[in-house]
Amino acid sequence: MILYTGAGTQSGALNALVRGLAGCFRRQELYVALTIVALCTTVQLRSGQFLSMNNVVDIIVSMIVPAMFGLCALIVIVSGGIDVSFTAVASLSMFATTKILLSTGYNGSVFWAFAMSALLGLILGAVNGAIIAFFNLPTLIVTLGTQGVFMGILQGALNAQEIADVPQAIFDFGNSRLFVATNPTSGLSSNLSSSVLILIGLILVTFFLLRYTIWGRGVYAIGGDAAAAVRAGFPVKWIKFSIYCLVGLIAGIAGLTRVCMMQNCQPTNLIGMELLVIASVVLGGVSITGGSGTITGMLFGTALITIMSNSLLLLGIRSYWQNFFTGLLIIVGTGISALQLVASHKRLPRIMDT
């Protein structure tokens, strides 16, 4: 078969590939992907260290928790809301879980530790969901409020301090790795943490939910036009409620993943990450007004932000400049798509050729 492939079919295949790429990636996603490639090439040329195996592994590992939070932000933003409490949910769930496991002297499987943190996250998410769905309050205000409440419980009621000695199961899981990548020139090595499997699992489940369930299409429908969603027969209140339950559950898992990877339990340092997560999701082409966005885009956005801070380190740029460049990236990245929208409105249809 391959022997007989003529030039015509080859260009046909090329066309199909281009069309396929254009079809797979929406415009914003394509731009982000190209920016990532450009950034990687630049840093590689300047430092020669970027494409080393251990650096790639480092980047993947540092994307794990942000990408999990990215899923949280994606689901909520697609439904037309905005959630700033998922890091607080994660902090409270993971801290409570670690504390309970320690005080009971738990020495079973890490699975139950995740299950517990996920359940706690789900309960906290349900609080958000109940207020938002049944009292019909604005999501930003509600989650700003619950973020404060959750952090208050964490720092006040639980009197949270850093826990350096985490339960054995969590410690072991944090140590486990899929493989070690060593850089032959520098001799540095990096571990690909097993936590990446949890991320992959969450991505697959979320993808399935959003793409292949009526519930998931309801999330998009509500984000597009909530009134029309009611008329189409979607159980809008229930979907809204369950969105925040699911987001709480994912946040709970993300929180414990963080504990495993750091091998200590720092109650407050996740806070503040939510805005960067939301920014990277929007950078990945997820519409801030709701109704559109993909997991691929979210991953691209997260990757770009992560690679950005990683490469600035490699180029020897001081860390406080990272905030500057990340901010710039967000403005330019989201600004370009906004400008295109304006431009497409201004363009006149051709009418003279009748």
Q: Applying CB under 8 A, which residues contact other proteins? A: 211-218, 220-221, 223-225, 227-229, 231-234, 287, 290-292, 348-352, 354
Cβ distance to other proteins smaller for residue 264 or 287: 287
Identify which of residues 112 and 212 has a Cβ nearer to other proteins in the complex: 212
* Distance, CA of 71 to CA of 83 (rounded, Å): 12
Minimum CB separation from other proteins for residue 240, in Å? 15
Measured from the CB atom, is 318 or 350 closer to other proteins? 350
Residue 167 vs 290, nearer CB to other proteins: 290
If residue 29 lies in a helix (H) or strand (E), which one and from where to where? helix 27-47
In the bound state with other proteins, the residue whose beta carbon lies nearer, of 17 and 228, is 228
Element (H, E) at 179: strand 177-182
Compute the distance between CA of residue 30 and CA of residue 299 in angstroms, rounded to an integer: 12
Q: How far is the CB of 289 from other proteins (least distance, A)?
A: 9
Residue in 195, 238, 204 with CA at minimum distance from that of residue 94: 195
Task: Kindly state the smallest distance separating residue 41's Cβ from other proteins, in Å.
Answer: 33
Q: Assess contact for 253 and 202: CB atoms under 8 A.
A: yes
Alpha carbons within 13 angstroms on the beta-carbon side of residue 300 total 25
Q: Which is nearer to other proteins, 319 or 354 (CB)?
A: 354
**CA angle centred on 159, ends 155 and 165, rounded to 5°:** 110
At 269 the three-state DSSP class reads coil
Angstrom distance (rounded) from CA 194 to CA 170: 12
Smallest gap from Cβ 213 to other proteins, in A, equals: 6
Neighbours of 243 (CB within 10 A): 27
